[in-house]
Amino acid sequence: IFLELWKRKCAGYSYRWGTIEMSSLDKPRSAYTGQLKPDPITGKMTLHYPMRYTYLQMYCISYPVVLCCVVAAGWFALYQFQIEAEVLADFGPDSWLLYVPVIVQSVLIAIFSWAYEKLATFLTNLENHRTRSQYDRHRVNKLMLFEIVNNFFSQFYIAFVLHDLRQLKYQLMMQLLVFQLLCIAQEIGIPLLAVLRQKYAEFRHREVAEEKLRSISDLPRYEQSFYESGLDEYHSTYEDYLQVCIQFGFVVLFAAVAPFAAIGALLNNVFAVHIDMWKLCNIFKRPFARRAKNIGAWQLAFELLSVMSLLSNCGLLFLQPNVKDFFSHWLPSVPDLSFVIFEHLLLGLKFLIHKVIHERPRWVRIGLL
């Protein structure tokens, strides 16, 4: 329901901004390379790059590299359990050292995510996709495949292999706490470093004047533009979308055993919104607007997490003894089949909600008549 309501909200914004009826026929990206050849339809000279080379890059380079990264992330998550078992055997269950493997794993997960994002961008650039929508879709697919394993594989292993819901709550709480602390540190640290760098440059070149100490909005327009030209560029919203998507996964994938994750995510987002506003207004250059009618490939990523959340939460409920006994009364001979039926009913309900709730509000549909 949340995603359907968000699509309606997004349709309202795109209607107000005049982007709701944008054509899906994107223009070539500025970074797209190829040979100039006449277009078979218009006859104009346009860039052409054989699709077989793109597929060759994808199947021979990108997919094997992504698969290796996913396997490495899964192996690292399993290795963390081995370290925890050794610490437990050496120091006992009451030792504070049991917190160290989880904290170190959470920090390394953030480092792996940062490194893999650079790698995914490099691989997608190699594939040389023609349009922005194609480029975004393939890049987001790589990011989501890795991030799901990198962030959630250990939780799935604890829940559905070890069947330890108590450890699942502990692991989820620690990993979510470290993830949000790192996000907040990044949100605050980058602006502070930018401010300190500006202050150091002013001190070194001794160009501090009384006019510079005033608010930037009080400067004449040409001085304000000159000052803003020296600010850092705001590259894209990829990191913001990725953080929100991972946070959404923490909230919905294990909501049956960890409802506290939603409260933590809400508090973190309230804080992050104000930090982002301050950064856009004071730290970065004014970004160029890129017209879009929705959030594009990220919508599919959120939909994937919502479907996964149905399956994972049904599985978590089925691990509860009282819930399992309830299902066993339906089909005593095959209680697992009753669980599968219940899970399929929920998937059918999700599909029904998707069809019943229109993605555009009524006032938008009337306005488009």
Q: What is the pLDDT of residue 211?
A: 47
Is the Cα dihedral 121, 126, 132, 138 positive or negative? negative
Q: Cβ contacts of residue 94 below 8 Å, gap of 6+?
A: none
Question: Among 84, 87, 136, 85, which residue's Cα sits nearest to residue 105?
Answer: 84
Among the residue ranges 67-81, 99-113, 176-190, 199-213, the one predicted with the least confidence is: 199-213
CA end-to-end span of the chain: 26
User: What one-character-per-residue DSSP string does 203-222 give?
Assistant: HHHT---GGGGS-GGGS-HH
Tokens of 307: 């479907």
Q: What is the pLDDT of residue 32?
A: 85
Tokens of 48: 């052409």
pLDDT tens per residue across span 51-63: 889 999 999 999 9
Q: What is the pLDDT of residue 223?
A: 63
Name the residue with higher pLDDT: 223 or 128.
128
In a 3-state reduction of DSSP, which class is residue 131?
strand
The mean pLDDT of the chain is 82
Segments of the chain assigned E as strands: 35-38, 45-48
- How many whole angstroms separate alpha carbon 196 and alpha carbon 96? 37
Q: What is the pLDDT of residue 202?
A: 62
Residue 99 confidence class, pLDDT cut points 50, 70, 90: confident
Among the residue ranges 119-133, 226-240, 267-281, 287-301, the one predicted with the least confidence is: 226-240
Q: What is the pLDDT of residue 104?
A: 85
Residue linked to tokens 């349709």 = 11
Q: Cβ contacts of residue 181 below 8 Å, gap of 6+?
A: none
